[in-house]
Amino acid sequence: MTEPLDPSVAPAGHNAAHGLLALYRSLVLIRCSEERLSAMFADGEVPGFIHLSIGQEAVSVGVMAALTAQDTIASTHRGHGHAIAKGLSLDGFFAELLARDTGLCRGRGGSMHVADMSVGMLGANGIVGAGLSIALGSALAHRTQKNGAIAVAFFGDGALAEGLVHECLNMAALWRLPMLFVCENNGWGEFLPTSKQLSFALKDLAAAYRIPHVLVDGNDVAAVAEAAARIVPEVRADGPRILECMTTRVRGHFEGDAQKYRDAADLAALSERDPLRITATQLVEAGIAEDALASITEEVKARIHAAVEAARAAPGPGFEAALADVYTAAPAGMEAH
């Protein structure tokens, strides 16, 4: 994992700039992957619905920079960024979204259920807030096994009115589980501002359950990484924490959503809050040449192109695979009836 940075020192010094450059590379990888998926979805290549994380990349990259390979995460329906930042194979990721047999879940999970247990990715989830209970169980397992790992649950502010969120906060606090709650607060719950859906703020909810709460600029990857580097050791040693990241949803609730319900001025100002733009400015101020940043983008696009072409060439699931993992083989000596 990339070494997290304190945003106050990120622009100064070779080592700090080098670390921030590594974070920037991850931001670009997620952004370019999402943009490629958007184009492929528009062309009919990606089945089902997809929910893109464009604008929220700094949360995924910043938090994952503080984690180890043993730490586990549970994601959301907008989980591509989490998956890529946690280290999922790019080839397997694109093959999964194209419903190929070489996908991480053999093409069965798709966009909203991509998972890879080998890197601690417990899965994205199409049910709002459902990932929290999965992460809660993982945190309990980590504590039971005394392996020093933590579980991270990503969720949006649109999930805060879900009863399951409250149950998980309560249980994590009661049992002092090694669990980090990461709220990606983009201000929206589907098609309605969350300010019109919630009568409380997350900091108030945290206080009610006696869980320490930290608020951070979720569009500044250095700030998120610094906060995560500070909080994650506390989670390992002392139990649950909440990290609320104020971020921006650029695309609609789902790909194809025209967002006619959003104010035109708000949409026009999105570029000013772009995590890639913010980080690129920090890097240039630290002395990194703009050509170096452009080279990273070209390198990343080449990796994505290769992964997409490999996915396109891969076979789809065979019909016989429909029964795989549904029925177990009969014990030796017993006949099926």
CA-CA-CA-CA torsion for 214, 219, 223, 228, nearest 10 degrees? 50
Cα 288 to Cα 27, 62, 280, 283, 285, distances in angstroms: 16, 20, 9, 5, 7
What does the block give as tokens for 119? 């890197």
116 has which bridge partners? 121
Regarding beta strands 192-193 and 213-217, do their DSSP bridges make them parallel or antiparallel, or are they unpaired?
Answer: unpaired
Task: Judge contact between 190 and 251, C-beta under 8 A.
Answer: no
**């945003």: which residue's tokens?**
7
Pick left, alpha or beta for residue 87 (phi over 0 → left; psi -120 to 50 → alpha; otherwise beta). left
> Please, what sign has the CA dihedral across residues 24, 27, 29, 31?
negative
In this predicted structure, what is the pLDDT of residue 337? 52
Strand (E) or helix (H) holding 179: strand 179-185
Task: Judge contact between 175 and 204, C-beta under 8 A.
Answer: no
Task: Judge contact between 135 and 152, C-beta under 8 A.
Answer: yes
Residues 6+ apart with CB under 8 A from 332: none
> Please, what sign has the CA dihedral across residues 287, 290, 292, 296?
positive
In this predicted structure, what is the pLDDT of residue 226? 96
In this predicted structure, what is the pLDDT of residue 5? 37
Residue 284's SS3 state is helix
Burial of 22 (0-12, 13-18, 19+ CB in 10 A): middle
In this predicted structure, what is the pLDDT of residue 264? 82
**């930290």: which residue's tokens?**
214
Task: Judge contact between 156 and 129, C-beta under 8 A.
Answer: no
In this predicted structure, what is the pLDDT of residue 335? 59
Burial of 320 (0-12, 13-18, 19+ CB in 10 A): exposed
In this predicted structure, what is the pLDDT of residue 331? 78
Question: pLDDT tens digits for the chain (337 residues)?
Answer: 433 333 333 334 456 778 999 999 999 999 999 999 999 999 999 998 899 999 999 999 999 999 999 999 999 989 999 999 999 999 999 999 999 999 999 888 888 889 999 999 999 888 888 899 999 999 999 999 999 999 999 999 888 988 999 999 999 999 999 999 999 998 776 677 777 778 778 999 999 999 999 999 999 999 999 999 999 999 999 999 999 999 988 877 777 777 787 888 888 778 889 999 999 999 999 988 899 999 999 999 999 999 999 999 999 888 777 777 777 777 777 655 5
In this predicted structure, what is the pLDDT of residue 11? 37
Separation CA 278–CA 225 (nearest Å): 14
